[in-house]
Amino acid sequence: MSTDTVAYVEESEFDTLLSEEKVVVVDFTATWCGPCRLISPLMDKLAEEYKDRVKVVKVDVDNNKPIFKKFGLRNIPAVLFFKDGELAETIVGVSPYEQFTEAIEKLF
């Protein structure tokens, strides 16, 4: 298993992804962001645990600034939870794994 199991998406793929998947978790991250590296393994774990029900992706904010600004984000890591294309919850900063799973469970 690779260390980075969660795929990166570009802005051009983002809206399609939200329309095709019921529940999407988006990790806004950057290579230079230390705290982002702390939650990266948590995103991989989420992707594995919920692989049949949730699509987990990452967005590199350096390459996709418009999408970052679209959601009014100022800090990373920021993890956004979408259900049926609508933003349901946002968690900013380093959080325990349980906080991410609780946010997902609320969407079902």
Active-site annotation holder among 6, 36, 42, 76: 36
In DSSP notation, 18-63 reads HHH-SEEEEEEE-TT-HHHHHHHHHHHHHHHHTTTT-EEEEEETTT
What pLDDT, on the 0 to 100 scale, is given for residue 98? 98
33 is an active site residue: yes
What pLDDT, on the 0 to 100 scale, is given for residue 2? 42
What pLDDT, on the 0 to 100 scale, is given for residue 5? 72
Question: Per-residue pLDDT for the chain (108 aa), expressed as one digit of tens each?
Answer: 344 579 999 999 999 999 999 999 999 999 999 999 999 999 999 999 999 999 999 999 999 999 999 999 999 999 999 999 999 999 999 999 999 999 999 999
Active-site annotation holder among 33, 73, 88, 107: 33
3-state secondary structure 58-90: EEECCCCHHHHHHCCCCCCCEEEEEECCEEEEE
Contact (Cβ atoms closer than 8 angstroms) between residue 100 and residue 41:
no
What pLDDT, on the 0 to 100 scale, is given for residue 23? 97
58 is an active site residue: no
At the topology level, CATH places domain 7-105 in Glutaredoxin (3.40.30)
Break the chain into its structural domains and give their ranges. 7-105
